[in-house]
């Protein structure tokens, strides 16, 4: 594997949670990172934190962008190319979840979930595919075990993640002849603020954001001839119910 120094990554939803953990891991490899958030303040603050904590020379930048808007994704990619000159890795991480029975789930909650978790990923790859062709890069989506395992009150989230898992696998087949690798990571319980959770010591059994970051690094370091296209990852010892 060639050195990752001066490679460039774009991470959607990278201002917190899994996306932030991935950004930290990539920076430690010498990869320049752009993190996006719908909030400009959050994106800038995340980049400042990443740069303050980074022991390598690589830098992070924050970009205000909304995955639900194709033009916004195009502008984010354009800004990365103007700033860093290339784009090697795209991690489509932005996501949200509403959990309610079908009787209580609102049409707006359904639309927000599909627009962010599925259509937003489509916009992200459409906006970045030409740059990834140039770099022979890597496109990684963050799906979920909910992308193959359904559960009560999960109709919108299940639909978005089932769709994302299938979408990513089809895109993998489309792009591998262009020397672009495509993988989806499907985590179980992760210690983040997702769905109103407050990470604390009681979350020690869960996957940590740095674990997902380490997994992304392992993927991009893998020999070019080998592609783990779908990776399920679980807590090794969840508490008994």
The pLDDT tens digits for 73-127 are: 999 999 999 999 999 999 999 999 999 999 999 999 999 999 999 999 999 999 9
Domains of the chain in start order, with CATH, are 8-233 (3.40.50.720)
The pLDDT tens digits for 137-186 are: 999 999 999 999 999 999 999 999 999 999 999 999 999 999 999 999 99
Helix (H) or strand (E) holding 187: strand 181-187
Catalytically annotated residue among 98, 123, 138, 157: 157
Q: Where are the alpha helices (DSSP H) in 61-151?
A: 70-84, 107-114, 120-135
Whole-structure pTM value: 0.94
Look over the chain and give the mean of its residue pLDDT values, rounded to a whole number: 94
Q: Directed axis angle between helix 70-84 and helix 120-135, to 10°?
A: 30
Sheet holding 89-92, edge to edge: 60-64, 32-37, 8-12, 89-92, 138-142, 181-187, 230-233
The pLDDT tens digits for 15-40 are: 999 999 999 999 999 999 999 999 99
The pLDDT value given to residue 46 = 96
**138 flagged as catalytic:** no
């Amino acid at each position: 594997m060639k050195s990752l120094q001066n490679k460039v990554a774009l991470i959607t939803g990278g201002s917190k949670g899994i996306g932030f953990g991935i950004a930290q891991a990539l920076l430690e490899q010498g990869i320049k990172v752009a993190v996006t958030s719908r909030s400009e303040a959050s994106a800038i603050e995340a980049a400042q934190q990443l740069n303050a904590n980074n022991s390598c020379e690589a830098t992070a930048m924050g970009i205000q962008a909304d995955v639900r808007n194709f033009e916004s994704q195009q502008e984010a990619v354009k800004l990365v190319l103007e700033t860093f000159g290339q784009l090697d890795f795209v991690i489509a991480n932005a996501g949200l979840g509403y959990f309610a029975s079908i009787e209580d789930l609102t049409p707006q909650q359904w639309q927000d979930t599909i627009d962010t978790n599925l259509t937003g990923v489509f916009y992200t790859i459409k906006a970045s595919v030409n740059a990834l062709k140039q770099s022979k890069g890597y496109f990684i989506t963050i799906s979920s075990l909910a992308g193959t395992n359904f559960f009560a009150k999960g109709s919108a989230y299940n639909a978005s993640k089932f769709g994302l898992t299938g979408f990513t696998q089809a895109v993998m087949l489309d792009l591998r002849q262009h020397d672009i690798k495509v993988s989806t990571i499907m985590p179980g319980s992760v210690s983040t603020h997702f769905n109103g959770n407050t990470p604390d010591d009681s979350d020690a059994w869960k996957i940590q954001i740095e674990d997902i970051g380490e997994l992304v690094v392992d993927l991009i370091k893998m020999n070019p001839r080998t592609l783990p296209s779908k990776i399920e990852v679980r807590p090794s010892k969840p508490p008994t119910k």
